[in-house]
């Protein structure tokens, strides 16, 4: 009996070593790799984001039976995104037989000019890829109708909390990369002993995503390996859309169309870049928090829902998207890319090892209380394998704990990694969920999956979603102080006492900052514009024209305002921090509309004093012509004129008309120069 037990123990230990030792080697290679250092040096210089003009972005959301969450999700996105609303459009893919979701989408479309319904040609639910491809086809027709070109599509789910700076960072990086993946971090309630078991399943998502999206995805990117799409927070550039032409972008024969697309892109020479960026926030208690620019959403909280969702992931990734032959066949994949493909494939085997592993562990515990044959005699080969596995497991738990600490804080580390008995409960529970999901995936492989009656492809087994309340969502919005910290205009030690004084005196934070000369007027107005989602321009000279004759010059100087553009229904006027609150309200008579942007007092005075000079009637003919023809909005016109020195074809670069040739090349170089300058500055600081 004893030899048989020892053979079983040896086989189990060997299997664990075979499937885990390569990960240890990979970690070591990454730690000593030069590419790791280079990736750190290539972080986005947050203070330089405004140097790149905003490009047209298309946000696509596939929705089936999402009437409960779709409206607050889109409203929150529109209310919090620090990106000009005229420069991104939201396309909601719905089905003709989903009346409740259609009603919500129609309400959003009526309320917001940049929200559009895309009706699927099939009754729902089809597969998610079919929905997304249908939206993309609609977008191409939308572009033709408006003579626009979106620079990228951004894929999001209908339950996402989208970070306020995601669009701005994506806009910057699209001049360097063809595809981007932002982190996804599950939302979870602050863990306590009272809610520990109730939140244990959703907590396993937080633990796994913290480790994968804080550490492993960044490691993949640094090592030029395959960065898989997470299905949300995924950005696909115009160059890829043009490469595919009329061919469907998302594969409709796979449950994980996102992963398969990212693998195909890597094989075509379009690797996905992983974006792990963070900004500083000052909390109410005075502490500074690093906030990652990531997508956040609520994940399943019950065992059955978690198993169903992970079954789709495991089946789609390891049994539909990737195959062992892909590792060896000729392609654009590097050695690192081929290894990570193997790493993803082995999950369908590794997850099954949990069962014999825990049975061996149970046998070991039982042997402490009863006489059983020894499975691992001391100092034998199998015993030393167990010692090595124990070390690997401890190191793994430490690395996971570090990731969880960075994303969720130390309290979450305690509940995720340090709470026994014997082994962390949440870690074990996560392994059990993965085991059950993998067994179900193997069952689907042998007995098939349910298919859509319409498309005859794998049906969309979506997860039921819930969303956050309005009070919690407001915590994700950015205020003036957040923007000042993000751009490095002020440090937290200086900002905190100014905030305290502002609250104590009931005065505006901006006034307190200016009185104490903590920031300049320009810095303050940039922050105010950002927090209020309005435009800021520093130089008014491109806007100087004869429309100023429509206004009394003394009133302009007294009110600290300046008219920039004339629209069909009114005027675009620049205000300053010194402009009286009701200065422009009296102008809104007889249907005249006033659109406000921000600038500085010095800029307004300079423009007023330049009225009678030769530069007073500089040409803005093309932009104003398109504005009066309703081919661009007033906001787009302001942005184009404000950035007209960036590239000769600024309208083409922004996507407001077909680009003339490869006009993205010059901005590509400009963005690279910004990275290089930021890197030199960081090196000097160090």
Give pLDDT tens digits for 415-470.
Answer: 999 888 777 999 999 999 999 999 999 999 888 766 555 555 556 566 655 666 66
Chain mean position to CA 550: 45
Residue 94 CA to residue 65 CA, distance in Å, equals: 9
Torsion angle of the four alpha carbons 513, 519, 523, 529, in this order, in degrees rounded to the nearest 10: -10
Which residue is associated with the tokens 């099954």?
A: 352
Peptide bond before 509: cis, by omega within 30 degrees of 0?
Answer: no
Residue 352 CA to residue 436 CA, distance in Å, equals: 9
pLDDT at residue 477 tops 90: no
Please state which of the ranges 121-135, 438-452, 467-481, 532-546 shows the lowest mean pLDDT: 467-481
Helix (H) or strand (E) holding 594: strand 593-598
Residue 582 CA to residue 577 CA, distance in Å, equals: 13
pLDDT at residue 610 tops 90: no
Residues in the chain: 686
Q: CATH assignment of 541-645, given 3.30.300, 1.10.490, 3.40.190, 2.40.160? A: 3.30.300
Give the pLDDT confidence of 542-577 residue by residue, as tens digits. 888 888 888 888 899 999 999 999 998 899 999 998
pLDDT at residue 663 tops 50: no
Confidence of residue 171 (pLDDT cuts 50, 70, 90): very high
Helix (H, G, I), strand (E, B) or coil at 369: coil
In 374-474, where do the E strands start and end?
A: none
On whether the CB atoms of residues 209 and 309 are closer than 8 A, the answer is no
On whether the CB atoms of residues 52 and 650 are closer than 8 A, the answer is no
- Between the two ends of the chain, the Cα-to-Cα distance in Å is 64
Residue 353 CA to residue 340 CA, distance in Å, equals: 20
Q: What is the DSSP letter of 657?
A: S
Nearest to 173 by CA among 295, 302, 275: 275
Give the pLDDT confidence of 492-514 residue by residue, as tens digits. 889 989 988 988 888 888 889 99
Chain mean position to CA 435: 29
Query: Two tokens at 252?
Result: 């409709």
Predicted confidence at residue 348, as pLDDT, reads 95
On whether the CB atoms of residues 220 and 227 are closer than 8 A, the answer is yes
pLDDT at residue 680 tops 70: no
Give the pLDDT confidence of 317-347 residue by residue, as tens digits. 999 988 888 888 877 888 889 999 999 999 9
On whether the CB atoms of residues 571 and 592 are closer than 8 A, the answer is yes
- Give percent of the chain above pLDDT 70: 89
Confidence of residue 662 (pLDDT cuts 50, 70, 90): very low
Residue 559 CA to residue 582 CA, distance in Å, equals: 10
Peptide bond before 125: cis, by omega within 30 degrees of 0?
Answer: yes
* CATH 3.40.50.720 assigned to 48-345: no
Residue 127 CA to residue 133 CA, distance in Å, equals: 10
Measured between alpha carbons, how far is residue 183 from residues 215, 375, 420 in Å?
10, 43, 29
Confidence of residue 617 (pLDDT cuts 50, 70, 90): very low
């Amino acid at each position: 009996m004893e030899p048989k037990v020892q053979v079983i123990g040896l086989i189990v230990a060997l299997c664990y070593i075979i499937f885990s030792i390569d990960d240890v080697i990979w970690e070591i290679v990454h730690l000593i790799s030069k590419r790791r250092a280079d990736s750190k040096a290539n972080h986005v210089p947050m203070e330089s984001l405004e140097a790149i003009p905003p490009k047209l972005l298309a946000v696509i959301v596939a929705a089936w039976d999402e009437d409960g969450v779709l409206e607050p999700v889109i409203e929150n996105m529109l209310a919090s995104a620090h990106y000009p609303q005229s420069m991104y459009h939201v396309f909601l893919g719905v089905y003709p037989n989903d009346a409740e979701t259609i009603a919500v989408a129609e309400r959003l479309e009526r309320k917001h000019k940049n929200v559009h319904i895309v009706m699927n040609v099939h009754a729902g639910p089809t597969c998610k890829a079919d929905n997304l491809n249908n939206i993309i086809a609609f977008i191409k027709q939308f572009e033709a109708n408006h003579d626009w070109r979106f620079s990228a599509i951004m894929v999001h789910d209908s339950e996402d909390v989208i970070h306020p700076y995601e669009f701005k960072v994506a806009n910057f990086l699209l001049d360097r990369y063809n595809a981007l993946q932002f982190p996804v971090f599950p939302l979870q309630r602050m863990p306590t002993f009272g809610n520990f078991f109730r939140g244990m399943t959703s907590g396993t998502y937080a633990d796994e995503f913290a480790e994968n999206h804080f550490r492993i995805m960044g490691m993949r990117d640094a090592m030029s390996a395959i960065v898989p799409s997470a299905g949300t927070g995924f950005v696909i550039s115009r160059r890829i859309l043009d490469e595919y032409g009329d061919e469907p972008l998302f594969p409709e024969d796979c449950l994980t169309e996102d992963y398969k697309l990212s693998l195909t892109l890597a094989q075509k020479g379009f690797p996905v870049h992983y974006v792990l960026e963070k900004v500083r926030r000052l909390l109410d208690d005075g502490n500074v928090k690093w906030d990652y620019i990531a997508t956040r959403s609520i994940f399943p909280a019950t065992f059955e829902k978690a198993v169903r969702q992970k079954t789709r992931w495991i089946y789609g990734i390891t049994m539909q998207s990737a195959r062992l032959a892909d590792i060896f066949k000729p392609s654009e994949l590097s050695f690192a890319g081929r290894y990570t493909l193997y790493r993803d494939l082995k999950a369908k085997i590794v997850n099954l090892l949990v069962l014999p592993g825990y049975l061996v562990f149970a046998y070991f515990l039982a042997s402490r209380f009863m006489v059983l044959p020894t499975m691992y005699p001391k100092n034998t080969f199998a015993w030393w394998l167990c010692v090595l596995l124990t070390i690997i497991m401890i190191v793994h738990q430490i690395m996971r704990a570090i990731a969880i600490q960075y994303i969720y804080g130390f309290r979450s580390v305690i509940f995720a990694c340090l709470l026994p008995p014997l082994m962390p409960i949440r870690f074990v529970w996560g392994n059990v969920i993965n085991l059950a999901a993998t067994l179900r995936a193997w069952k689907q492989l042998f007995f098939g999956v349910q298919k859509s009656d319409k498309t005859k492809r794998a049906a969309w087994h979506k997860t039921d979603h819930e969303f956050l309340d309005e009070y919690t969502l407001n915590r994700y919005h950015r205020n003036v102080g957040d923007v000042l910290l993000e751009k490095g205009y002020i440090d937290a030690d200086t900002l905190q006492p100014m905030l305290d004084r502002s609250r104590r005196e009931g005065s505006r934070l901006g006034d307190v900052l200016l009185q104490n000369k903590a920031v300049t007027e320009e810095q303050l107005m940039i922050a105010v514009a950002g927090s209020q989602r309005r435009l800021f321009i520093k130089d008014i000279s491109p806007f100087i024209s004869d429309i100023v004759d429509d206004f009394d010059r003394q009133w302009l100087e007294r009110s600290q305002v300046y008219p920039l553009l004339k629209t069909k229904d009114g005027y675009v006027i620049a205000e300053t921090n010194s402009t009286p609150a009701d200065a422009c309200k009296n102008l809104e008579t007889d249907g005249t509309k006033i659109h406000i942007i921000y600038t500085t007092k010095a800029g307004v005075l300079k423009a007023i004093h330049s009225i009678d000079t030769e530069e007073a009637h500089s040409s803005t003919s093309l932009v104003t012509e398109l504005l009066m023809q309703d081919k661009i909005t007033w906001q787009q016109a302001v942005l184009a004129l404000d950035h007209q020195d960036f590239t000769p074809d600024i309208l083409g670069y922004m996507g407001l008309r077909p680009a003339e040739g490869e006009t993205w090349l010059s901005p590509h170089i400009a963005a690279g120069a910004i990275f290089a300058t930021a890197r030199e500055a960081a090196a000097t600081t160090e």
